[in-house]
Structure 1
Amino acid sequence: MPQPLAGHLIRTGALRPTREPTPWDAPLPAPTPAASWGGAEHTAGFTRVAGPFSTTAAVALARTWSITRIGRREHAMNRLIRAIEASSSATCRPASPAEASEAVLAVRRTAWHAPVRTACLEESAAATFLLGSQRLSVVWCHGIAADPVRLHAWVQTVDGNLVAEPPSTRAYTPALTIGARHQHRL
């Protein structure tokens, strides 16, 4: 079988780079973090949060699980996004940092007792639903960090403050935000 022309030219040395390599062509030396889909840096349901079980947080978690598990699996994220948008559109005022933090921590406390997977996606969506049931708004964020690729979902206040998240969350670039300030009438 004949070799492609470009492969032949490279192999024989007839094809050469058009310019000399520059210092910025080399990769920068940096420690490579372990691959993570949110569970390594943000332990979500792996860290027990002290406090009482919350029935309203359990309802919000049940809503999240039912949205993601009923129907075709490949449409689960789309269903969850539409539900978060609907919940955010019915809010009256922004949640204070204390209200938002209490909602996230209530979801985390309740998720500790759940027999199903609960990670950042489920926790952040459930916290958004919990606050939405009280007509309070937050910004739900789904973001990505590169090298290696890491995904994370979190909640922040309408002013952009992280809610019950470590500072390393700022390393994620939000790819999708729902409930941002420009989407609300204040």
Structure 2
Amino acid sequence: MEFAGPGMPGIVVLMDTRDGMVQTLMEPAATWWRTLASTGDPAAAARAANLSATEATGLTRALTAAGFLTTTTTTRPAPWPALIVGLDPGPSWGSQTAPVALPKHPPSRRALRATAFLVMAAVLTITRCGSHHRYFDRHLKAVRAVAHWNALRHAPFADPATAAESVDAVRRAARWCPARAVCLEQATAAMVLLALRGHSATWCQGIAPDPVRLHAWIEHTDSGEPVDEPADTAAYTTVLRIPGRRSPSRT
């Protein structure tokens, strides 16, 4: 993803979808990456960024060690997919505030709360069981499995009230979790809970700059509106959307 505009210098943010880690490239490394992505030619990238051979090699090795590059041998350079252009929220100068108060809802039904607790326990198992460096990938696989299940049974889109009720139940369950249960875990749990209730939604992962930060949430599949999210969510550029937009018509 690339962020550039009046509010900030051009930067490139790389995200590893296996573990959710990000790497921010400032200039001249950002120019090096843009050129490398568009040409597939390391020598051309080094020239465009005005990097010496030693500097370019060191940058390549660092990104390879971090898992953002792989070393392959090819006789014909090829461009990579274009960078996603992120939203420019403007400069914060260290004084930007973001409202985080969430809508208040009446307590959800006891049965729904109990189901939300069980779903959150299962999601925490996904997070903590297995290699820590692959936990984000496990979340993606779980969400894609839920989306596939919804597609097979033609699950209808969750209406605003049902979606909000499910998200609220998950958040209430997360308050009592002894382990990390923040936006990633809550978004995955909300997708699972809605699926158990016979409804579908869209799971989203976004990135915002200044400072670079990640956030996960669910949105209404038909309208694309985030479910029970603060206004600050509008600053995030969506980089992953599962299952993606589809027509609300059913077959």
In 2, distance between residues paired with 1:157 and 1:65? 24
Q: Kindly indicate whether residue 143 of structure 2 is the aligned counterpart of residue 79 of structure 1.
A: no
Give the equivalent residue in structure 2 for 1:66. Answer: 125
Query: Runs ≥4 in structure 1, deviation > 6 angstroms?
Result: none
Aligned to 1:120: 183
Q: Give the distance between the partners of 2:183 and 2:95, measured in 1 at CA.
A: 18
Q: Distance between the aligned counterparts of 1:83 and 1:43, measured in 2? A: 29
Which of 97, 107, 110 is equivalent to 1:51? 107
Listed as ranges, the matches of 1:1-186 within 5 Å are 30-33=91-94, 42=100, 51=107, 54-91=113-150, 92-158=155-221, 159-182=223-246, 186=250
SS of residue paired to 2:140: helix
CA contact (8 A) 1:48 1:112 kept: no
| CA RMSD of superposed structures (Å) | 2.9
Hey, what's the Cα distance between the residues in 2 that align with 1:42 and 1:80?
Answer: 24
Distance (whole Å) between structure 2 residues aligned to residue 180 and residue 121 of structure 1: 17
Distance 1:102 1:126, change over 3 A: same
**Mapped partners of 2:200, 2:95: distance in 1:** 34
Residue 70 of structure 1 deviates from its aligned partner by: 0.8
1:181 is paired with a residue whose SS is coil
> What is the TM-score with the length of structure 1 in the denominator?
0.72
Alpha-carbon distance in 1 for matches of 2:99, 2:217: 13
Structure 1 residue 122: Cα displacement: 1.0
How far the C-alpha of 1:135 sits from its partner, in A, is: 2.7
Asked if structure 2 preserves the Cα contact closer than 8 Å seen for 1:42 and 1:120, the reply is no
Shift of 1:150: 1.2
Higher relative contact order structure (alpha carbons within 8 Å, sequence separation ≥ 6): 1
- Mark the structure with the bigger radius of gyration: 1
Task: In structure 2, give the amino acid aligned to 1:108.
Answer: R
For 1:177, the aligned partner's letter is: R
Q: Deviations over 1:76-116 (max 9, x none)?
A: 11111011011111121111111110000001111112222
Q: Report how many residues are paired.
A: 154
TM-score after normalising by structure 2: 0.55
The AA in structure 2 aligned to 1:55 is A
Distance 1:82 1:60, change over 3 A: same
Question: Could you tell me whether the CA contact under 8 Å between 1:48 and 1:109 is conserved in 2?
Answer: no
